[in-house]
Amino acid sequence: MNFCDECGSMMKADDEKWVCGSCGYEELRDSATEQAMTTTQGQEGTTVVDMSDVDAAEVGPTVEQKCPDCDEVRTVRYEMKQIRSADESETRFFTCTECGKKWREDDH
């Protein structure tokens, strides 16, 4: 990925040059620089991970939290993911280890 020196927009590769779609600025491509770039090419597929033999206690961190279905404080597994824009806080996903109920919490 390359960014335009004139306007800062992302440029697209067009044969031997980079072309800015916003302002039309062009610059020659440099293969040595492009070798150092990280790409998503070849990363399209997903792999399913078999977790059936893993003990539930080994799957992620746990915390004591009130389960909405059990209506009691239970041990729950949690994970945090950034699902909104980068300036928003992460969303916490919980799974009750007793009943399997899943829910999420967002900061408002």
CATH of the domain at 93: 2.20.25.10
Predicted model pTM? 0.45
- Phi/psi for 78 (5° steps) reads -140, 155
Structural domain tally of the chain? 2
User: Do 28 and 61 belong together in one domain?
Assistant: no
| 28, part of any domain | yes
| 48, part of any domain | no
Q: Is 107 annotated as ligand-binding? A: no
Q: Is 4 annotated as ligand-binding? A: yes
| 87, part of any domain | yes
- Residue 20's pLDDT band, with cuts at 50, 70 and 90, is very high
User: Do 60 and 101 belong together in one domain?
Assistant: yes
Q: Is 89 annotated as ligand-binding? A: no
**Position with higher pLDDT, 94 vs 108:** 94
Q: CA-CA distance, 83 to 80, in Å (whole number)?
A: 9
- Phi/psi for 72 (5° steps) reads -140, 160
Q: For the chain, what is the mean pLDDT?
A: 82
For residue 84, the enclosing domain spans 56-105
| 42, part of any domain | no
Q: Is 106 annotated as ligand-binding? A: no
Q: Is the pLDDT of residue 46 over 70?
A: no
Q: Is 7 annotated as ligand-binding? A: yes
Q: Is 96 annotated as ligand-binding? A: yes
Q: What is the pLDDT of residues 48-82, one digit of tens each?
A: 666 667 665 566 788 998 999 999 999 888 888 88
Q: Is the pLDDT of residue 43 over 90?
A: no
| 46, part of any domain | no
